[in-house]
Amino acid sequence: MSNEPLKLFAFDVTAPAHLTAGSWRDVADAGMRYTDLSYWTGIARMLEEARFDGVFFADTVGCHDVYGGSPDAAVRDAAQFPINDPALVVPAMAAATRHLGFGVTASLTYEQPYALARRMSTLDHLTAGRVAWNVVTSYSESAARNLGLAGQIPHDERYDMAEEYLEVCYKLWEGSWQDDAVVRDAASGTYVDPRRLRPVGHRGRYFDVPGVHLCEPSPQRTPLLFQAGASARGLRFAARHAEAVFVNTMTPELTRRGVEKTRAAVVEAGRDPRSVKVFALVTVVVAPTDAEAWEKYERHVRHASYEGALARFSGWTGIDLSGVDPDAPLEYAAVDGVRSIVDMFSRADPSRRWTARQIAEFLGVGGTGATVVGSPRTVAAELRRWRDVADVDGLNLSYATKPGSWEDFIELALPELRDQGLVGEGGGARDGGGTATLREGFYGAGQRHTLPDHPASRIRASARAEAESARREAENGHGDGTGAGPRDGASSAYAPLAGSATTPPR
């Protein structure tokens, strides 16, 4: 258990509504302004002033169309639809702030690693190193069909692809450019020294990427990596690659079991279990008194949409609940969608047999995470349990209305939480210091790059050792100091990264 203050991210989506079904129907909700850039920069300034560590953007590239065999219920309720690309609002939000971090969800199932690596490097440059990538493999049949596939790739194979995908990204980010490749020497007419570049030369089961990374090294090189997979295969993937893990469960006690499994898997992967930070999804409804907070919660419940909640659940899990008796118990089903959500409902209380109505009521406000209701002291007491019992390192703070839920939290709960030492002062350098990267906010000043036990660091170390060896050869009169080997006419000024061949996943 850690007694460190909790890190704090706001949890959102670039759509009218996210997890709280029907939130847009509340007159206090401003979610319909999601197409207005000034709305997003205003959110960024509010979170920066409150010293949040960051904002975490969920995303989907498919419409929830399982419920009733149609997208109609999701479309009517604005259930994460319509939805814009979160990566495109981040540069504007970054320009309006100095310290706020930005977690961006991007699926690797439908985009080549060469292109996504470029996009993430661009965001890392434009945010001065304040970006994280939430690595997802996607689950939506709708997304698969609309992006050119006959159907969704099987669950475990998506993670096999993801392993190779990240290997390619690490090679591009960490191994393709030497630190001193950009020289900007006007006298010699050289902007980038081609001798200090390496093609990644990757040839694998799923991807062939022969060339160099398109972007010069960004502040973090590899963005901070989030992951949310909770299946057995997803957990192995997270243990190997994630620097932060996102969990969404109902209680601290249930979450603790998942956290223990995660940290054990991290150890098995050869990494420090405390280096992977765990974030829990929580929605807070706070008011000056407990009674007022519950009145506020009941108002949110009145606006919640039964069909909207079940449209989300059906889309996430692949289980169509439109035709079932709303009060009949549901049986556990192993599905190829978001398995952790089905597990959460079926295993949270083994003696309970959930009905569709109960699921809709639970999901209606705050979605799949916990909803904490009460006065500032009540909220602080419950969030202390999340830190001490669940052993999480941070919170992804969702909302019932936006930005109202966050405004209430900042005004009422946050002072109490900070007085009790439960929430930190936000990542990064402040009060006259320079701007730190998001990773430094997690691991300390100077730690811009992945920790030594991370697989990206091994690729970086190998590339640097190769470059150093080449320079020593040049000093001894052998070679040109590039490690490129003999030049073959004008065909290439650089050689492929050593050890770049991929072994197909087993």
pLDDT bracket for residue 492 (50, 70, 90): very low
Residue 26 one-letter amino acid: D
Per-residue pLDDT, averaged over 325-354, amounts to 64
Structure confidence at residue 213 (pLDDT): 99
Percent of the chain exceeding pLDDT 90 equals: 70
* 439 CA to centre of own chain: 13
Structure confidence at residue 249 (pLDDT): 86
pLDDT bracket for residue 433 (50, 70, 90): low
Structure confidence at residue 477 (pLDDT): 72
CA atoms within 13 A on the CB side of 201: 13
Q: What is the C-alpha to C-alpha distance for residues 420 and 342, in angstroms, rounded to an integer?
A: 35
Euclidean distance between the first and the last CA atom of the chain, given in angstroms as a whole number: 35
Does pLDDT of 348 surpass 90? no
Per-residue pLDDT, averaged over 480-486, amounts to 47
Does pLDDT of 379 surpass 60? yes
Does pLDDT of 440 surpass 80? yes
Structure confidence at residue 502 (pLDDT): 45
Q: What is the C-alpha to C-alpha distance for residues 86 and 417, in angstroms, rounded to an integer?
A: 29
Does pLDDT of 487 surpass 50? no
Domain range spanning residue 121? 7-443
Does pLDDT of 272 surpass 70? yes
Higher per-residue pLDDT: 495 or 284: 284
Q: Of 135-149, 243-257, 455-469, which gets the smallest average pLDDT?
A: 135-149
Does pLDDT of 486 surpass 80? no
194 lies in a domain? yes
The predicted model scores a pTM of: 0.90
Does pLDDT of 481 surpass 60? no
- pLDDT tens for 389-417 read 999 999 999 999 999 999 999 999 999 99
478 lies in a domain? no
- pLDDT tens for 44-77 read 999 999 999 999 999 998 899 999 999 999 999 9
505 lies in a domain? no
Phi then psi dihedrals of residue 11, to 5 deg: -115, 120
Would you give the DSSP letter of residue 54?
A: E
1 lies in a domain? no
Residue 351 one-letter amino acid: S
496 lies in a domain? no
Does pLDDT of 340 surpass 60? no
- pLDDT tens for 206-224 read 999 999 999 999 999 999 9
pLDDT bracket for residue 482 (50, 70, 90): low
Would you give the DSSP letter of residue 68?
A: G
226 pairs with which residues across the strands?
134, 244
CATH of the domain at 382: 3.20.20.30
Kindly write down the DSSP assignment for every residue of 393-454, as one continuous string.
Answer: SEEEEE-SSTTHHHHHIIIIIHHHHHHTT-B-S-SS--TTS-PPPHHHHHH-TT--S--TTS
Mean pLDDT value across the chain: 89
Q: Of 92-106, 154-168, 323-337, which gets the smallest average pLDDT?
A: 323-337
483 lies in a domain? no
pLDDT bracket for residue 335 (50, 70, 90): very low
- pLDDT tens for 113-146 read 999 999 999 999 999 999 999 999 877 788 888 8
Classify residue 49 as left (phi > 0), alpha (psi -120 to 50) or beta.
alpha
Structure confidence at residue 87 (pLDDT): 97
Q: Of 329-338, 407-416, 461-470, which gets the smallest average pLDDT?
A: 329-338
Structure confidence at residue 432 (pLDDT): 46
Structure confidence at residue 92 (pLDDT): 99
Structure confidence at residue 332 (pLDDT): 54
Does pLDDT of 343 surpass 60? yes
Does pLDDT of 21 surpass 60? yes
For the chain, how many structural domains are there in total?
1
370 lies in a domain? yes
* 475 CA to centre of own chain: 45
Structure confidence at residue 349 (pLDDT): 61
Structure confidence at residue 354 (pLDDT): 78
Q: Which helix (H) or strand (E) holds 491?
A: none
497 lies in a domain? no
Contact status, residue 247 vs residue 256, Cβ threshold 8 Å: no
